Structure 1
């Protein structure tokens, strides 16, 4: 895609994420929303549906030639999806459980996938008034009140011995994650909610690694992957194989790991065995 076209799509995604995020934050502040259980027992709220409606309408109006794959839409078959050279990949609210629990750890995720790889990533954190974004080959950035800067993963003073900061889920067992980290290192932990916010914190150097054990969808990693990798990190399946997009019948991700400083021997630190 020509660079100018991608810049226009990045600006569009940023505008749409902020617009949806502000509406979601208004609902969050009032506490006036309905919560439901989906068929897979995951939670969803009326705020998710509103955000999804806003994002879909804005993107469809501006880019009618680009299909949309959203967590909250009916999903096209692989046979149809395989014909898409590019598409929008959306998670209207990443961290719905945190939205319901009122931790503030939820975000709006919009990615553009081209030839099965993320090339634009936008994540808006409404309570933090923070917008993280990246475009392939152009670096990763953060905008917040009084702040607009390029972000990079933290460089450890000693990649082989420095203390490693692990982003830990508020809802997962700390022991479950720590048992998969080699005892040869010293760790600190940072509790956070949504997958995408943990990834953003790694991208801006507030944490070094995050392992996700459990069910997620491709929309949970698309925007994050672009931002983290443009900030100098990586997201891989927990067995250190690449994540895939739009190449399988299922849209579920494998367990995955988000890593900062690439000088660190992460395969020696993360001791993963599939349950």
Structure 2
């Protein structure tokens, strides 16, 4: 991986993306081939499922990133890395986003990594092993799915929304009933839902409940670089500093959809169920 420094900034060569894709592809093959009977639950707290395969994926990604650069790595699976003050530049990884989907035999999980500098992602790769889809972005250079450039439709209003239930419930159902949205998509991984917005499979994704930086940072850059918007449900910018927990999330395929949705949230009194 070619990482060089100029005036304190990391410059990423094109082949750095290829290096990361290569080891994520290898990890993905391991996950797809992993026997379900060998998956062991380590813990399950507030719907956050931890298994032995999460640790296996973590160890694999840490090993590969350490071979590619000397930058520190923050991982969901490493409590020590989370407890330390954040450095100015670091990798943040979610070895498996959507563990429950993987355990239950669904395809909607990803492996992901982002490079953070000055509290913002500047490079990211999200890999969907089951369908062999790669999403990647470098700040200022656009976003890509399988090396095809992703572009937003800036005039489009929302007609589709994505969430992780078989049918829309509570706030999402309320939003569909009171907006132009008519299509609903189901997907497990938070990051993959964001990437579905980036590739225009869906127009909108939102969460009223907490998310963490490792859930959203890689896909956030991909959405933003294609012309989409990633902010809070109050319309505030998300910075990757301080507390790793974010209270909520609004991901829109363009600025018009973002503003339209914020307006509807106000009309519906913040989605009171």
Alignment partner of 1:55 is 2:61: yes
More displaced stretch, 184-193 vs 170-179: 170-179
Alignment partner of 1:257 is 2:257: no
Q: Where does residue 270 of structure 2 map in the other structure? A: 273
SS in 1 for 2:96: strand
Q: Where does residue 89 of structure 1 map in the other structure? A: 92
Select which of 118, 135, 140 maps to 2:138: 135
Alignment partner of 1:68 is 2:73: yes
Q: Within 5 Å, give how 1:166-181 maps onto structure 2.
A: 166-170=161-165, 174-180=169-175
Q: Where does residue 220 of structure 2 map in the other structure? A: 225
**2:167 and 2:186 in contact (8 A); partners too:** no
1:128: how far off? Answer: 0.9
Alignment partner of 1:111 is 2:104: no
- Once residues 27 and 156 of structure 1 are traced to their aligned partners in structure 2, the CA distance between those partners, rounded to angstroms, is 44
**2:205 and 2:251 in contact (8 A); partners too:** yes
Change (3 A) 1:165 1:233: same
Change (3 A) 1:31 1:125: farther
User: What RMSD, in angstroms, separates the aligned Cα atoms of the two structures?
Assistant: 2.5
Q: Where does residue 39 of structure 2 map in the other structure? A: 33
**2:113 and 2:126 in contact (8 A); partners too:** yes
- Once residues 165 and 194 of structure 2 are traced to their aligned partners in structure 1, the CA distance between those partners, rounded to angstroms, is 14
- Once residues 63 and 82 of structure 2 are traced to their aligned partners in structure 1, the CA distance between those partners, rounded to angstroms, is 22
- Once residues 43 and 95 of structure 2 are traced to their aligned partners in structure 1, the CA distance between those partners, rounded to angstroms, is 16
More displaced stretch, 174-183 vs 87-96: 174-183
Select which of 19, 22, 32 maps to 1:12: 19
User: TM-score under structure 2 normalisation?
Assistant: 0.86
SS in 2 for 1:199: helix
- Give aligned pairs, total: 261
Offset from partner CA, 1:130-152 (integer Å, 9 cap, x none): 01100101111111xxxx41112
**1:238 and 1:254 in contact (8 A); partners too:** no
Alignment partner of 1:100 is 2:107: no
**1:192 and 1:198 in contact (8 A); partners too:** yes
**1:81 and 1:246 in contact (8 A); partners too:** no
Segments of 5+ residues of structure 2 without an aligned counterpart are none
1:39: how far off? Answer: 5.3
Bigger RCO (CA 8 Å, 6+ sep)? 1
